[in-house]
Structure 1
């Protein structure tokens, strides 16, 4: 038992220091409010930035979950979806030493080289390139020091505070604050388990094999160099799929690449244990051999097949301006517990008024003038927020992972604006959105001879 005491003491000190740091930052923000500053979304965003890892992740959750949070907060936290400031390699090396330099081995026994300059840095982990002694090029996804302790402490404090508030202010139970914190806790702690992420990758690879899909690839996981805090994967080389000129070095038809990507992802909704819910420009690439690379499976979602079909029906009804059908699909999607309590005609009228208002406010939306990526994403995000607002007024709620799915559709829309501006995701003959077909084309490679 004695052997565990130093570790337990260090853990306890980390918890105490984190609680003290949190109280200090929160106190300064409270002082700003006491001096007359408005306690709005921007103040909360600044406070979260100072509080670090956990609160940045909560900000990201708020930014990507408009079904749960007020509009002004969703918009304020959009900036949290970008990369964070990298840590010095010496801190990353400490984690690598603790996780992989065991049983008398050293890091030099495991790796021929580790690049101290990160390829990417996020709130939970940092990614470094490395090379094994057999010549394999790999990437190391390394959890930042004390992330799990910080997150467990922060989320424990948040959960306790919300429970106390609900006891002191029973009316707050209507807002369901504690369940939201529980939901955030489940998602965030899942992201800190890289063994689980490795399983997500294997699930996706099994799906690719089952559907005979040789067009798409995910990185190979090195199980003997993977732990809960370190994930070692083969390095994939390629270019971003928002750079059409770079893509044409390795393919003849970027629009077909986009169609193959969509077909693979749509099929995974129906046939894989989970779907990749974070395929932004940094996590989707065209490889130098012409295949499509899906990377970073830390954020995945799960949606019932019938919910997905209803979701697609709702999108098609929106395109057809059939608001009665759209209202029916919203209910079919399990967006409400009490189907009989929803006035479908009134919901359809509200949806129609919403769309007419959006189109009247934004001339560009109806004029046919192309948006740039940011404008298009903002327009779609605005539409989604409006749909959520209308739904709330009718007692409608979203399935747990509907926000993840919708966020991914927004990402795809950004890609399509660049690669296939004439492609309609929901009616193009090359795209099978309901998984009726899992066919993807043979690689349309450019000869590099």
Structure 2
């Protein structure tokens, strides 16, 4: 790790800001520089109020864009900082003073290689929002082809100098992470250097607006033809690394209950659509919007739901989605040993931990939940409590699952605000049932077995070729093998055609069985 002479002075500045907001407890918990922290606590008066997470959020806002983004990133890691602090940091307001129209125009023209007036008939000089990474302006496109109509668009422009500021602060974050790993053995299991690495990857992706445009494009394709979900179309002609242009989306904020009622929207129907959209993103596609707070979600005039801001996205592979489904089934059945076994199979419970004791801990967490009315059950909080068992049992949890849990919490919060009598996940029950039947039922098991056999057939020629190569090397003296081993390889090659025929017949039988089950 390369250090610079500026690091100590930067650390001192940060400590003073934390002290001013009475947020030093966050640093005290890390156990680094205890003498400096103790000294700062003795100097000056405390001005902070509220919970520790709220104080830290105010301090991070004062420290600037990189720290705001880091605070938002930590808000997705309740497994690291606890649910209350994560909830407080999730309220971190990513609002900064806007940069000038002249700076925005210079970036636009430099990135797109054309004068602003050639690209837009109208460009609003005052942005509609200004955040730590970028700000957004409304505009109307100028089309060279007279037969193409101009379109209303939203143009996101990267904040000037944000890349260099991020690089400077990133060095500091890595330095602190290395320091924590060296001096605090109890915190090593949280892998602070790895956490900073994931943060770096996340922010670098956010700072390349082409990546956000690509995420929006993929999400839009996943919901193509679905009238209930609208993703703004990307204008690739007016998109580059520091500029992204999308069609303009208008509507009522998803959490504005009074405005939705005044516009004549059926709140139950709105929530039904929202639950189906969330389910389809997570289970059907394994690609979900990672920052679905109400400010990024709108109800359009026709009753559909629209989304913006695709800088943070989550992915779940098919295996993880299957484990989630199995965990949900086991939880609903109150089969805690099965729930523990699923997590062992997923590799979440490390070797040496007692599965029986873990199953008992799962029962202690889940049983109090089931005594409540259905509308009051929070599956997101239940998932969060399961994650909190990580400290006791030294489990490893995928960051994507924590991101999913954060989004579930936001969805439940909006749902209860719109209609406290409804549970948003119950509305998605038919979809969940169908998905589980398709992916965990007998048909799916037959299909998966057939797929595994087909994959084995596809690998067979390469396997046999490797075996033949080994035999040839042995023949020229490159390897010394026992004569019986050479004979076995030769027999395997001779019998390859018979093996392929047998496996094809077995695959055909499996396909026929699958067809019979589906009828």
Same fold per superposition (TM over 0.5) = yes
Map residues 22-101 of structure 1 onto 2, 5 A cutoff: 22-26=10-14, 28=16, 29=19, 33-36=38-41, 45=57, 47-70=59-82, 73-80=85-92, 82-85=93-96, 87-90=97-100, 93-101=102-110
3-state secondary structure, aligned to 1:288:
coil
Distance 2:268 2:369 in 1: 29
Residue 179 of structure 1, aligned match among 194, 216, 239: 194
Residue 361 (structure 2) aligns with: 350
- Answer yes or no: is the 8 Å Cα contact 2:68–2:94 preserved in 1: no
Higher relative contact order (CA 8 A, sep 6+): 1
Compared CA separation, residues 398 and 222, structure 1 to 2 (3 A)? same
Residue 507 (structure 2) aligns with: none
Compared CA separation, residues 422 and 236, structure 1 to 2 (3 A)? same
Residue 393 (structure 1) aligns with: 392
Map residues 282-293 of structure 1 onto 2, 5 A cutoff: 282-293=295-306
**CA offset at residue 334 of structure 1?**
4.3
Distance 2:424 2:417 in 1: 13
Matched, 1:409 2:408: yes
- Answer yes or no: is the 8 Å Cα contact 1:311–1:333 preserved in 2: no
Distance 1:190 1:434 in 2: 35
In structure 2, list runs of 5 or more residues that go unmatched: 20-32, 47-51, 143-148, 437-519
Distance 1:292 1:46 in 2: 32
Map residues 30-429 of structure 1 onto 2, 5 A cutoff: 33-36=38-41, 45=57, 47-70=59-82, 73-80=85-92, 82-85=93-96, 87-90=97-100, 93-101=102-110, 105-133=114-142, 135-163=150-178, 166-167=181-182, 173-209=188-224, 212-248=225-261, 253-272=266-285, 274-315=287-328, 317-319=330-332, 321-336=334-349, 338=350, 341-355=352-366, 366=372, 383-428=382-427
3-state secondary structure, aligned to 2:398:
coil
**Highest CA radius of gyration, 1 or 2?**
2
Distance 2:433 2:337 in 1: 21
- Answer yes or no: is the 8 Å Cα contact 2:80–2:190 preserved in 1: no
- Answer yes or no: is the 8 Å Cα contact 2:276–2:428 preserved in 1: no
Distance 1:313 1:426 in 2: 16
Listed one character per residue, the Cα deviations across residues 267-312 of structure 1 (whole Å, up to 9, x for unaligned) are 2334446211111111111111333212211110111223223324
In structure 1, list runs of 5 or more residues that go unmatched: 1-15, 360-364, 438-449
Number of residues of Structure 1 aligned to a counterpart in Structure 2: 403
3-state secondary structure, aligned to 2:295:
coil
3-state secondary structure, aligned to 1:231:
strand
Distance 2:428 2:15 in 1: 57
Distance 1:403 1:241 in 2: 23
Distance 1:347 1:414 in 2: 30
- Answer yes or no: is the 8 Å Cα contact 2:286–2:318 preserved in 1: no
- Answer yes or no: is the 8 Å Cα contact 1:251–1:290 preserved in 2: no
- Answer yes or no: is the 8 Å Cα contact 2:254–2:294 preserved in 1: yes
**CA offset at residue 176 of structure 1?**
1.8
Distance 1:355 1:27 in 2: 40
Distance 1:114 1:152 in 2: 31
Compared CA separation, residues 236 and 49, structure 1 to 2 (3 A)? closer
**CA offset at residue 187 of structure 1?**
1.2
**What is the TM-score of this pair, normalised by structure 2?**
0.67
3-state secondary structure, aligned to 1:433:
helix
Q: Which moved more, 1:180-189 or 1:104-113?
A: 104-113
